[in-house]
Amino acid sequence: MADRMTPQQRSRCMAAIKGKDTRPEIAVRRFLYSQGLRFRVNNRRLPGSPDIVLPRYRTVIFVDGCFWHGHEGCRHSRLPESNREYWLHKITLNRARDYRVDVELRQMGWIVMHIWECEIDETSLQILYQRIVGTPGIGEGYASTSDNDGGSSLAAEPPEAYGLPY
């Protein structure tokens, strides 16, 4: 019942309504966490507030809803019969924004990965994981060198920004 929700539950509920912490995102996070990866979630300091941020691998992941992000050829992205123009316009804008965000993040030195909501299963998550850990680059040395290169916008972030306990 609504009146028995704690403030925390309520805010979680609101977050779900706004599209944050939706089930597909949680499935991806849970899998990556079970593989030993640690990350931040919905980092609003980065363009597009990536769903998952892995500073150690300099990688961000977006879990894209098929409808809102226009997954071509996917049955989940079929437009409603009414107001087709409206939806088409809206989704085109979303895709344009996704593209801009990707470019911005890459310019900041991030590796950007996307996974479609409909494609989340054991196999695709394994592939995603392999891509993350197979990414050449930062590795263990990252944390100790980031103070010197000044290139990380995350370095100064307080621990509260972490989505999961370390």
Question: In 3D, which of 26, 27, 24, 119 has the Cα closest to residue 71?
Answer: 119
Examine residue 69 and tell whether it contacts Zn ion (CB under 5 A). Answer: no
Q: Give 91 or 118: the residue with its C-beta nearer to Zn ion.
A: 118
Specify the DSSP class assigned to residue 160.
Answer: G
List Cβ neighbours of 77 (8 Å cut-off, separation of 6 or more): 66, 67, 70, 71, 91
Distances in Å between the Cα of 98 and the Cα atoms of 87, 103, 134 are: 16, 9, 24
Half-sphere exposure of 150 (CA within 13 A, CB side): 0
71 part of the interface to Zn ion, by CB under 5 A:
yes
- Under the binding rule (CB under 5 A), the answer on residue 79 touching Zn ion is no
Q: How near is the Cβ of 74 to Zn ion at its closest, in Å?
A: 3
Shortest distance, position 79 Cβ to Zn ion, whole Å: 14
* Range in contact with Zn ion (rule: CB under 5 A) among 16-24, 65-73, 92-100, 144-152: 65-73
Restricting to residues 86-125, name those near Zn ion by CB under 5 A: 116, 118
Footprint on this chain of Zn ion (rule: CB under 5 A)? 66, 71, 74, 76, 116, 118
